[in-house]
Structure 1
Amino acid sequence: MPAEQENPWVEGIKTIGLSAILAFGIRTFVAEARYIPSSSMLPTLQINDRLIVDKVTYYLSEPQRGDIVVFNPTDALLAQNFRDAFIKRIIGLPGDTVEVYDGQVWVNGQVIAENYIQDQPDYIYGPETVPEGHYLVLGDNRNNSYDGHSWGFVPRDRIIGRATVRFWPLGRMGGIGHPTYSLPELPELPEAPDPNGATLEPATP
């Protein structure tokens, strides 16, 4: 007796359904495409650039200074009726003290070299210390960017992912470079002394 063949319409619906589920899973957990609607990240990103946003990296590690990140609006932005995601560069990490003056950005008392910005910032900001679990983000087009120096810090859980690849226009297709900074790491806080005067030791596993 010949094997019963499934209706091709049913097969087609299954294929479309599985494809939709796969696409949703990739967009939700792996990567998604975004476009640049404004000039706030010039000259690094230009209006109508199309980017791939990597969502996997931040499941495995924390955001780093210099990362260009896409994030959902903070509470301060939601209160101003912003609903669309933003894209900016991380400048301040949790615990950093950040200032902007004399056309330069200072992190923990040291100037950071920024060869990616449009113009030197003409505003004064800080000093402000970035709270734990938050980040300070600024646009590369410093004087034409509505960013953290105006509305505050971005909570970790609002960050969607990191912009990694520009796929449009074809003439500028390629990876989005990451700057290097020569800032020393913040020293670790000393352990609290034992109330009885003895130094606390880590527990034996």
Structure 2
Amino acid sequence: MENKRSNAKWLLGIIGALVLIGGGLRLWVFQPYLIPSPSMEPGMAPGDHILVNRLSYRFWAPTRGDVVVFAFPKDIKRTFVKRVIAAEGETVELRDNKVFVNGKDIPEPYVKPGDYPPYGPEVVPEGKVFVLGDNRRESEDSREWGLLPKEYLLGKAWLVYYPLNRFRFISKAI
């Protein structure tokens, strides 16, 4: 009888530790977000649930291709999900339905086909990034409201976890 109580205490202790670790990870590292709009189609669709690594940009700078979650600069209570297209010191230009960074067109297999207006060229200053939605025709992004200050970055999108048939890790694809 004593052995069963001891095993039960160990099991409860392990479950408690897992709950604390999971809660800690959820609180300080991973944050769930919901994709509310079609701006990141086809890779992420409205209704997709994603996990975001909140520590990413405390240790590393955002780089081209990162899918980021950030506080919208015009209303910090709202969060947006977009892709970093150009980082500090890079020159970005959109023309002929292509994106050019430092004068070279970049491959973008993740972009939803369609026409979009020209932009730039513009040099991204220190402390900012240029972000675009993958669905350029239906995205409110740096073309409209300007370059994103890096202090608004909340984290790097890590995986789509729901719905289960769309489960996948989010890659840079650049």
Asked if Structure 1 and Structure 2 have the same fold, meaning a TM-score greater than 0.5 normalized by the shorter chain, the answer is: yes
CA-to-partner distance for each residue in 1:71-129, whole Å, 9 max, x for gaps?
0011xx23xxx731010000010011111011111111110011100024420100111
Kindly indicate whether residue 132 of structure 2 is the aligned counterpart of residue 138 of structure 1: yes
For 1:50-199, list aligned pairs within 5 A. 50-74=49-73, 77-78=74-75, 83-180=77-174
1:71–1:86: 8 Å Cα contact kept in structure 2? Answer: yes
- Between the aligned partners of 2:169 and 2:68, the Cα distance in structure 1 is 14
Give the alignment's TM-score, normalised by structure 1: 0.71
More helix by share: 2
**Separation (CA, whole Å) in 1 of partners of 2:108 and 2:148:** 21
Tell me, in whole angstroms, the C-alpha distance in 1 between the residues paired with 2:114 and 2:90: 21
Contact 1:49 1:166 in 2 (8 A): yes
Instruction: Tell me how far apart the structure 2 counterparts of residues 35 and 176 of structure 1 sit (CA, whole Å).
Output: 14
Alpha-carbon displacement from aligned partner over 1:31-72 (angstroms, at most 9, x marks no partner): 110010000000010010000001122222111110000000
Label 1:121 to 1:135 Cα distance change in 2 as closer, same or farther (>3 A).
farther
Given that residues 164 and 176 in structure 1 are in contact (C-alpha distance below 8 angstroms), is that contact kept between their aligned partners in structure 2?
Answer: yes
TM-score, length basis structure 2: 0.83
Instruction: Decide whether the 8 Å contact of 1:73 with 1:84 is kept in 2.
Output: yes
- 1:3 is matched with none
Unaligned runs of 5+ in 2: 1-18
**SS of the residue 1:72 aligns to:** strand
What's the counterpart of residue 35 of structure 1? 34
Computing the radius of gyration from Cα coordinates, the structure with the larger value is 1
Judged with a 3 Å threshold, the aligned counterparts in structure 2 of structure 1 residues 120 and 95 are, in CA distance, closer, same or farther, namely farther
Question: What residue identity is the alignment partner of 1:30?
Answer: V
Deviation of 1:28 (Å):
4.6
Aligned equivalents of 2:165, 2:91: Cα separation in 1: 39
What CA distance in whole angstroms lies between the structure 1 residues aligned with 2:126 and 2:115? 26
Matches of 1:107 and 1:120 in 2, distance apart?
20
1:159 and 1:28, CA in 2 relative to 1: closer, same or farther beyond 3 A?
farther
Q: In terms of mean alpha carbon deviation, does 112-121 or 140-149 score higher? A: 112-121
Letter of the 1:83 partner, please give it.
K
- Aligned-residue sequence identity (percent) comes to 39
Aligned partners of 2:103, 2:83: CA distance in 1, in Å?
20
Answer 1 or 2: which has greater strand percent.
2
| Distance in 2 separating the partners of 1:119 and 1:131 | 29
Higher relative CO (Cα under 8 Å, sequence separation at least 6) belongs to 2
Supply the RMSD in Å over aligned alpha carbons.
1.9
Which amino acid counterpart does residue 139 of structure 2 have in structure 1? S
Residues 36 and 50 in structure 1, CA contact (< 8 A), matched pair in contact too: yes
